[in-house]
Amino acid sequence: MIKRSSIPVYVILTCLLRCVVIIAGACSKQEPEGFAVYLTEGDVPPAKMEMLSHVNIAGEPVISTRDIISYNVITHEILLTSDAFDRISRLDVPVGGRSFVVCVDRQPLYWGAFWTPLSSISFDGVTIMKPLGSDVSRVIQISPGYPSASFYKGEDPRNNLEVMRSLQQAGKLSIVTSSSPVDRLPRSLKGYELYSWPVNGLWHFALITGTNRDKTLDEIISTENIISQDGWVHVHAVGLDAVKTLLARVPQNEYISWMGKLRSQQMLQDGANIALPASSVIDRIKEYATEYGLNLTVISP
């Protein structure tokens, strides 16, 4: 004879419902984390990192995308929130460095070490210098080598494509940090010229002083930012947010010609042409120009 359960039906149904919710929550896909900097599990010393085939990262990032206000794609300076900057300032960094791993969605892409300017030990890898004391700029920098770049060995991993894409998607890429030399670009007698070209899925832009002569390829695609005392300007930007920041620095009523092709029809170094992005991107940049009182003309190929 089978005994009937003495547990009320509503209690059983409630328990089953809770189980379903728990299982559904466990199976739900987590949101992508994006760019983050992690310490290593167990604090693996920098001197031992290259000897290991696999390194586990710590449970939580020491710098997450939420902590970043802007990432300068040229200098690799990172403007942090106040809380994040304080956290890095308090980080325990021995004179031999403290290893970190740069990740996208928790997948390690390259490693380096937090370093202290008090150290007399040189390092041939990528570093983030620990701030000493308070700093109103709240800027840290991912740099090659310590005490200078001449100590660095190997290829520079900082322009990793996955890192740049993640930062761009998060709207963090910028050409401007608190250390920028000027807040306003000078007026130009012949206005400005804007060039654009895609590289590995990322749109690059160059704003250059307008001239009657043809610009050379090296001149256009150079990543060096120049704002000279005699009024010559060349500024490189990557992504829509960087372009918006750049246009905000152009004086009102200035004329900008967005060149859809090279006058000389030459090719870029990697085979990509000077070109215009999708119409939706063009419209966004036109909106930025209008917002800042600029006269932007798109010159189609």
Strand runs labelled E in the chain: 35-39, 63-64, 68-72, 77-80, 98-104, 107-115, 123-129, 139-146, 173-174, 192-199, 202-209, 226-227, 233-238, 255-259, 295-299
Structure tokens at 219: 């001149």
Backbone angles phi, psi at 69, to 5 degrees: -90, -45
3-state DSSP assignment of residue 181: coil
CB 251 within 8 A of CB 183: no
> pLDDT tens, 202-241?
888 999 999 888 887 777 887 777 877 667 888 888 888 8
Domain locations in the chain as residue ranges = 35-174, 192-299
Over residues 270-288, the mean pLDDT reads: 86
DSSP of 40-63: BTT---HHHHTT-S--PBPSS-SE
pLDDT higher than threshold 60 for residue 181: no
> Does 269 score more than 80 pLDDT?
no
Each residue's pLDDT tens digit, 36-82: 999 999 999 999 998 888 899 999 999 999 999 888 877 788 989 98
